[in-house]
Amino acid sequence: MLMKYQQILEEIHKEVVPLLGDGKVADYIPELAKVDPGKFGIYLLFLNEEAYYIGDAHEKFSIQSISKVFMLALTVAHLGEKVYERVNVEPSGDPFNSLVQLEYECGIPRNPFINSGALVITDLMISHLNNPKEELLSFIRELVGQEDICYNETIAASEKACGFKNAAMVNLMKSFGNIKNDVEEVLDLYFDFCSIEMNCNELARAFRVFANHGKGVIDAKRYITESQFKRMTAIMQTCGFYDEAGEFAFRVGLPGKSGVGGGIAAILPGEYSIVVWSPGLNPKGNSLAGMKALELFTTKTGTSIF
Ligand code: DON
């Protein structure tokens, strides 16, 4: 049977509209609190170029922690498995900005997709890349095939002005010897990485490389090896949604990554990438309507990795 994807996206849109007021826009970064909670968009992109979208799928938003996937991919592509000597690959079961495990686990973060792990990845990038700020942007632009993807300096500055927990984390890890560079430099670059703006369409194009096992769909370039792809996807599945990774696997069943800007990017390897954006968050910091939309999508289409 030919699946009517556009119709399915329209049905999902109708079903989630009543939820758009239920989530809470992230306000611990003052600039993010200004985003309209009524926004909603989905972009679905298949490896064979078929594409479907609905709503605000072409409006840029702050990708926040979704950038952690690009950071890991670029770092692993440069350094290989050495990365995992400095950061673990276990779900944390704690909020993304939690400090508790770091102390009794001697400054080794649970995984690269929580803040502490991404701070260590940032530190590795400073040590091993010539110009990590430029290189991450070029990497993402190349994955998307488009130049106009940028940092938002206002959002980065807004987060820096009140990023005390991230500062505490990086200092604690420094005390254990797991941060090699200057803590201010690591924090500044981490906040820049969080401030990247993209829309659902651009994110779906970037994540399609991961759906295609680490190879560009158009240029067939290999960005990460098959084994690096397998490992990154496993980390998305088990750690991509902070202390709600189990719930996301249970309800949606796709590897993916969320950010407090309300975006969620997910993949069905070998088939498609899908990105949803709705800025209202649930208490765990994941997009409330976004999670529901993806749950409806995998249920209605019968597609998930399980
Ligand atoms: O570090 C922070 O708090 C944010 N800039 C990123 C938060 C986010 O999206 C979820 N964190 N893993």
CATH architecture of the domain with range 5-63+197-301: 3-Layer(aba) Sandwich (3.40)
Q: 99 by DSSP, 3-state: which?
A: coil
Distance 156 CA to ligand 1 centre (A): 11
CA-115 nearest atom, ligand 1: 12
> Which secondary structure element, helix H or strand E, spans residue 172, and what is its range?
helix 164-175
Convert 191-215 to b/e letters by CB count within 10 Å (16 or more is b): bbbbbbbbbbbbbbbbbbbbbbbbb
Averaged pLDDT for residues 235-260: 97
Averaged pLDDT for residues 273-282: 98
- Of 65, 164, 169, 170, the residue with max ligand 1 atoms within 8 A of its CB, to mutate for a pocket test, comes to 65
Q: What is the pLDDT of residue 171?
A: 98
Task: Using alpha carbons, select from 106, 107, 108, 111 the residue that is nearest to residue 93.
Answer: 111
Fold type of domain 65-194: Beta-lactamase (3.40.710)
Averaged pLDDT for residues 108-114: 97
- Of 29, 96, 188, the residue with max ligand 1 atoms within 8 A of its CB, to mutate for a pocket test, comes to 96
Judged against a pLDDT cut of 80, whether residue 2 lies above it is answered with no
Distance 114 CA to ligand 1 centre (A): 8
Q: What is the residue-wise DSSP string for 61-85? A: EE-GGGHHHHHHHHHHHHHGGGGGG
Strand (E) positions, the chain?
41-46, 51-55, 61-62, 197-198, 256-258, 263-268, 272-277
Q: What is the pLDDT of residue 43?
A: 98
Averaged pLDDT for residues 287-295: 98
For the chain, the structural domain boundaries read 5-63+197-301, 65-194
Please indicate whether the domains covering 5-63+197-301 and 65-194 agree at the CATH topology level: yes
Nearest CA to ligand 1 atom 1: 115
pLDDT in tens, 51-106: 999 999 999 999 999 999 999 999 999 999 999 999 999 999 898 889 999 999 99
Averaged pLDDT for residues 257-282: 98
Instruction: Please state, in angstroms and rounded to a whole number, the distance separating the CA atoms of residues 143 and 138.
Output: 9
* Interface predicted TM-score (ipTM) of this complex, two decimals: 0.89
pLDDT in tens, 116-162: 999 999 999 999 999 999 999 999 999 999 999 999 999 999 999 99
- Give the pair of three-digit tokens for residue 41: 């968009």
Q: What is the pLDDT of residue 122?
A: 98
Strand-pair partners of 41: 55, 277
- Give the pair of three-digit tokens for residue 299: 């249920």
Percentage of the chain exceeding pLDDT 90: 94
- Of 97, 121, 122, 277, the residue with max ligand 1 atoms within 8 A of its CB, to mutate for a pocket test, comes to 97
Residues with CB under 6 A from ligand 1: 64-65, 96-97, 114-115, 159, 166, 194, 259-260, 285
Q: What is the residue-wise DSSP string for 196-221? A: -EE-HHHHHHHHHHHHTTTB-TTT--
65 known ligand binder = yes
Q: Between residues 270 and 1, which one has the greater pLDDT? A: 270
